[in-house]
Amino acid sequence: MSAPASPLETTVMFHVGPVPITQPVVTTWILMAVLVGVAALSTRRLSLRPGRWQAVLEVVVHTLESQISETIQAPGRTYLPLLGTLFLLVLTCNLSGLLPGVRAPTAHLETTGALAAIIFLSVHVYGVRRKGLLGYLRGFAKPTVLMLPLNIVSEITRTVSLMIRLFGNIMSGEFIIAIVVSLAGLFVPIPLMALELLTGVIQAYIFTVLATVFIGAAVGDIEGG
């Protein structure tokens, strides 16, 4: 099976009926299974007197919850399952591209588009749940009803921006490393790989923070008050 000729193309692995299942989808499924397995093993024997590994997990969870609380200005535990899972998944996807023979799923538009769509829907679900349907919809007409079209367009454009930002940063990093490897050999791009590692962590953090800000804006009028 030949590799895609363009970073915007994907390799179809197999079909489920008429639906093509591409390489980024399969890779994402594998990474999700790994994360679920690690989570199950890590939480199997929790104790009131945590060992070293449990202590690390508690620090990670507490840090994520604190960051969410500070951004939304509300108890972060409500949003931790979504945003914490989102951060870990995006981080794992970003860093998977450093493994030999693996392309990061987030270097493909369909993956970042799906993640952005989840955030788009979650923002409105949390907003409606907190303010009620009419109360939430009235927020689009603030400060004046003339702003209604602009506010709707803003919801769409910021979601597209979220998708493009993550895709562009991860895809460009992988593309540059691939070019350097083809021109200069295997060991030369090691410093670039270290930079890609840092970029993957930063982009996962930025993606999650922006998602948190969007949710905070949807629920903030009531949560903050």
Give tens-digit pLDDT for 69-96. 988 888 888 899 999 999 999 999 999 9
Q: How confident is the model at residue 163 (pLDDT cuts 50, 70, 90)?
A: very high
Q: 20: part of which helix (H) or strand (E)?
A: strand 19-22
Is residue 51 predicted with pLDDT exceeding 60? yes
CA nearest 114: which of 89, 92, 136? 89
Helix ranges restricted to H, 20-108: 23-42, 52-72, 80-96
CA triple 140-144-149, angle to 5 deg: 50
Q: For residues 144 and 140, what is the distance between their CA atoms, to the nearest angstrom?
A: 9
Q: What's the one-letter identity of residue 42?
A: S
CA nearest 23: which of 115, 110, 116? 110
Q: How confident is the model at residue 186 (pLDDT cuts 50, 70, 90)?
A: low
Q: Supply the mean pLDDT for the chain.
A: 85
Q: What pLDDT does 185 receive?
A: 59
**Mean pLDDT, residues 149-166:** 92
**Mean pLDDT, residues 129-154:** 88
Is residue 149 predicted with pLDDT exceeding 70? yes
Higher pLDDT, residue 186 or 216: 216
Lowest mean pLDDT among 100-109, 127-136, 155-164, 213-222: 213-222
Helix ranges restricted to H, the chain: 23-42, 52-72, 80-96, 109-131, 133-138, 148-184, 190-223
Q: What pLDDT does 3 receive?
A: 44
The count of C-alpha atoms lying within 13 angstroms of the C-alpha of 86, restricted to the half-sphere facing its C-beta, is 26
Share of the chain above pLDDT 90, in %: 38
CB contact burial 95-114 (16+ within 10 A = b; e otherwise) = bbbbeeeebbbbbbbebbbe
Q: What pLDDT does 196 receive?
A: 82
Q: For residues 47 and 41, what is the distance between their CA atoms, to the nearest angstrom?
A: 14
Q: What pLDDT does 224 receive?
A: 40
Q: What pLDDT does 27 receive?
A: 94
Residue 37: alpha-carbon gap to chain centroid:
19
**Mean pLDDT, residues 129-158:** 88
Place of tokens 């994360």: 35
